[in-house]
Amino acid sequence: MSATSHEQPRYATPTRVDVTECRTDRIADRVRLNRVQGSEVHLEHRGGRTFLVTTPAE
């Protein structure tokens, strides 16, 4: 039996990470960490909070 690990995360559903308290110079690093192959990553502002949203490719 063997196990494999992936360098990039894989998501089946959209993910939302709260980055309200994240320094602006660190946002690009957070985007790279949350990006999956073919996914769309964008910022979303809701109710005074800011979220980094990853939408998986279909």
Q: In which residue are the tokens 């949350």 written?
A: 34
Distance, CA of 8 to CA of 1 (rounded, Å): 22
Give domain status of residue 45, yes or no. yes
Give domain status of residue 3, yes or no. no
> Domain containing 20: what range?
15-55
Q: Return the closest-CA partner of residue 15 out of 45, 58, 51.
A: 51
Alpha helices in 1-58 (DSSP H): 27-34
Is the pLDDT at 58 greater than 90, yes or no?
A: no
Q: Model's pTM, two decimal places?
A: 0.65
pLDDT 10s digits, 15-32: 888 999 989 899 888 888
| Domains of the chain: total | 1
17 burial via Cβ count (<10 Å: 0-12, 13-18, 19+): middle
- Give the DSSP letter of residue 22: S
